[in-house]
């Protein structure tokens, strides 16, 4: 499937929308709920077995996904703001929670992501942060953008350990 060409058209995520997907150990999509398909513009057939990176928007810094994957690989939940690309090239912003679901015997079952709408205040802060991270990343790589992310957290009295609660606190 060709990657959509990004446009400036933003798709609305309403406060009642809860966009859910599940993924296997590699992040390939194993389930999506109807609102996921409605907002992204893809059918279930187009999504199942595809990597979640089908939604990857070029405005997203790599360091955020690096943090996401290192958290869930260690079994920790992560809350992160994500700008996603739709099939028609439009985009939508969400605050995602990705967590690890386990079987009763404690073995890995799948990754589950629930995504909700974000406030104008959070969007403003995160757009600026991600633009800076992307700029640094393009010039000097992910290690450099990781440093910028840590600096941002430190300036706000936070650290990578408080990343999740801080991200949640911005969404008001
Ligand atoms: C359960 C789950 C949900 C994910 N949801 C998204 C998503 O909504 N958008 C996105 O761009 N990446 C999502 N990812 C991360 C992707 O797997 C991938 O790391 C990211 O799109 C960056 O692509 P890349 O690793 O090929 O650079 C998700 C991963 C998991 C495990």
Q: Give pLDDT tens digits for 82-137.
A: 999 999 999 999 999 999 999 999 999 999 999 999 999 999 999 999 999 999 99
CA gap 102, 32 in Å, rounded: 18
Q: State the pLDDT at residue 45.
A: 96
Residues with CB under 6 A from ligand 1: 21, 23, 27, 51-53, 55-56, 60, 65, 68-69, 82, 84, 96, 98, 111, 113
Task: Flag whether the pTM goes above 0.85.
Answer: yes
Set out the domains of the chain in order of their start, with CATH numbers. 19-170 (3.30.450.20)
Q: What is the pLDDT of residues 90-101, one digit of tens each?
A: 999 999 999 999
What is the torsion angle, in degrees rounded to the nearest 10, for the CA atoms of residue 23, residue 25, residue 26 and residue 30? -30
């Amino acid at each position: 499937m060709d990657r959509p060409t990004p446009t400036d058209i933003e798709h609305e995520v309403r406060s009642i929308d809860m966009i859910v997907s599940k993924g296997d150990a590699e992040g390939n999509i194993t389930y999506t709920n109807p609102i996921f398909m409605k907002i992204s513009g893809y059918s279930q057939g187009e999504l199942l077995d595809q990597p979640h990176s089908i939604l990857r928007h070029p405005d997203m810094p790599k360091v955020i996904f690096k943090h996401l994957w290192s958290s869930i690989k260690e079994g920790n939940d992560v809350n992160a703001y994500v700008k996603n690309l739709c099939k028609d090239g439009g985009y939508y912003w969400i605050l995602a929670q990705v967590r690890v679901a386990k079987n009763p015997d404690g073995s890995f079952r799948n990754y589950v992501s629930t995504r909700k709408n974000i406030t104008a205040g959070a969007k403003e802060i995160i757009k600026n942060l991600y633009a800076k991270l992307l700029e640094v990343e393009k010039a000097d790589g992910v290690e450099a953008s990781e440093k910028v992310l840590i600096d941002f957290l430190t300036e706000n009295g936070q650290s990578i350990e408080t990343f999740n609660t801080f991200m949640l606190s911005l969404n008001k």
